[in-house]
Amino acid sequence: MNILLINPSLQEVEISHYKKKVEKNRGVYPPLGLCYIASALKNKNHQVKIIDCDTEDNYFEKIKNTIKDFNSDIVGFYVMTWTYRQAKNIAKEIKIINPQIKIIVGGPQATTFPKFSINCPEFDFGVISEGEVTVQELIEALEKNNPLEQIKGLAFKKNSEIIINPKRELIKNLDLIPFPARELLLINKYFDIFTKKKRFATLIASRGCPFECSFCDRDNRMGRQWRVRSAKNIIEEIKLIQKQYNINEFMFFDDNLTSNKKWVYELCELIIENNLKIIWECRTRVDLVDKDLLKSMEQAGCYRIRFGFESGNNKILEIVQKGITVEQSLLCAEACKQVGMEMFGYFMMGSPYEKEEMLQQTLDLALKIDSDFALFSKTILIPNTELFDWAVENNYIEKDYWKKYLTGEETNSAPSLDTKELPEKTVDKYISLANKKFYLRFRYLLRRIISIRNWQQFSSQIKMAKSLFIK
């Protein structure tokens, strides 16, 4: 079959307190999820194309032309809650072009709201959670006109009823999944203003997160069970990317790359043994690194780690079930500085039971950590999180808020808490204050200027400043 996969434009959706123009300048990242689905389908001898709307000047014209020229049988969408309405509008136009085309919706939206997602004429099927095997089985069933009831992880329509099949077991051996089909992307269109090189590639080494943060939709992030690819498998993918695209900077998109320290040591050893000469960054937790591990990572090319420090108050960290302490954050920061590892810190403001003096403690912590970059944001009530459920129980938000957002009745894509103890306006004020206090320090500005080595880095620094200050 001819299958077209579409990634709706995230740049067209305002999902934070930053303006759209600012978000667009911060970066565009490859849709690796769709690339993995594409590889799985290509392995079954299907013809596959990908359209990433954020890399197209006129994505709708591109979609219409591809539907006709490619003679598409199936169209699949990767959809977040924020891009659902856009995907639905595109799907509606596709059905006008060819009503016989079957349309699949997958991604976090289909996992969170499977029944709602396909309860419309535009979408025929929903793929829940990991999609590689489910999509393969669905396409085979459509080709052979087989029943759909036995396909785990699938939502579909039968007569006037929506059927939600049982969940599919998570893929245990990630090495069995073929490398993402990056060749289907406009690879030169992807960028990040924080990278050192103009061109970079993203990697996913593991899936799942075993931690309990109440603000995170971990069930939509490949579940709670942490599974990791072998270090050898990662090395093979890096070599392939170097050979195909001459890219030597990598960004690991895992929630917590260092969940297994032994595995990280092995990965670092293989990077050095294979003389890959790469630089890379990753995300992890402050309680999952130590000085020795950081040294090994730095020697293997890691130059920056992104940490969720979140709050400068231990009570708030406990309330949001982060599982770390302020003291651990400070110890982690000190270890990074001793090794020479850059830090990108994330800080949240406006959590349950938080008070104004606690916001000041978070700002004080950020100044004390003195990371290379810091992102201050409001605590958002994301669908399908414990924090959202708490807000519903305490009458801070309606239970049907996100369903109303999906239908257009609600327009705020980043709802946050607004309490008597801490009004939302106060949180906004502190975020603005935090950016100014953190980034307008003379010592910090001097450090950034000294770090500039060429015109590209100078241009990036200007864009960074705009992304952080223009609200």
Percentage, residues of the chain above pLDDT 70: 93
- Tell me which of 130, 164, 198 is where a domain ends: 164
Q: Alpha-carbon distance 400 to 310, whole Å? A: 27
Lowest mean pLDDT among 294-308, 318-332, 334-348, 401-415: 401-415
pLDDT digits (tens, 9 = 90+) for 145-159: 999 999 999 999 998
pLDDT computed for residue 128 by the predictor: 95
**What's the CATH code of the domain at 58?**
3.40.50.2300
Domains of the chain: total: 2
pLDDT computed for residue 463 by the predictor: 67
Q: If you compute the radius of gyration of the chain from its CA atoms, what whole number of angstroms results?
A: 22
Percentage, residues of the chain above pLDDT 90: 85
Q: What is the mean pLDDT of residues 337-349?
A: 98
pLDDT computed for residue 18 by the predictor: 46
Residue of 433, 330, 419 lying closest to 381 (CA atoms): 419
Whether the per-residue pLDDT at 221 is higher than 80: the answer is no
Same domain, 430 and 463: yes
pLDDT computed for residue 471 by the predictor: 47
Contact between residue 17 and residue 413 where contact means Cβ atoms under 8 Å apart: no
| Residue 408 covered by a domain | no
pLDDT digits (tens, 9 = 90+) for 9-45: 988 875 544 445 445 667 899 999 999 999 999 999 9
In degrees and rounded to multiples of 5, residue 470 shows phi and psi of -85, 105
Same domain, 213 and 321: yes
Q: Alpha-carbon distance 334 to 371, whole Å? A: 10
pLDDT computed for residue 134 by the predictor: 97
Same domain, 251 and 204: yes
Q: Alpha-carbon distance 151 to 216, whole Å? A: 28
Same domain, 71 and 126: yes
| Residue 409 covered by a domain | no
Q: Alpha-carbon distance 414 to 380, whole Å? A: 6
**What's the CATH code of the domain at 374?**
3.80.30.20
pLDDT computed for residue 470 by the predictor: 54
Whether the per-residue pLDDT at 113 is higher than 80: the answer is yes
pLDDT computed for residue 424 by the predictor: 95
Domain ranges, residue 82: 2-164
| Residue 272 covered by a domain | yes
| Residue 439 covered by a domain | yes
- Tell me which of 133, 164, 195 is where a domain ends: 164
The residue among 195 and 138 whose pLDDT is bigger is: 138
Q: Rounded mean pLDDT of the chain? A: 93
| Residue 181 covered by a domain | no
pTM (whole model) above 0.75: yes
Residues 6+ apart with CB under 8 A from 435: 376, 468, 469
Same domain, 84 and 149: yes
Token pair for 193: 């203003």
Same domain, 283 and 228: yes
pLDDT computed for residue 17 by the predictor: 47
Same domain, 37 and 94: yes
Whether the per-residue pLDDT at 448 is higher than 90: the answer is no
Same domain, 264 and 374: yes
Same domain, 309 and 236: yes
| Residue 169 covered by a domain | no
Dihedral sign for Cα 70, 75, 79, 84, please: positive
Same domain, 196 and 328: yes
The residue among 232 and 11 whose pLDDT is bigger is: 232
Contact between residue 361 and residue 315 where contact means Cβ atoms under 8 Å apart: no
- Tell me which of 164, 197, 218 is where a domain ends: 164
| Residue 176 covered by a domain | no
Q: Alpha-carbon distance 366 to 110, whole Å? A: 36
Contact between residue 433 and residue 363 where contact means Cβ atoms under 8 Å apart: yes
Same domain, 225 and 142: no
pLDDT computed for residue 447 by the predictor: 85
pLDDT digits (tens, 9 = 90+) for 258-298: 999 999 999 999 999 999 999 999 999 999 999 999 999 99
Residues 6+ apart with CB under 8 A from 425: none
Same domain, 107 and 15: yes
Lowest mean pLDDT among 99-103, 177-181, 228-232, 442-446: 442-446
| Residue 393 covered by a domain | no
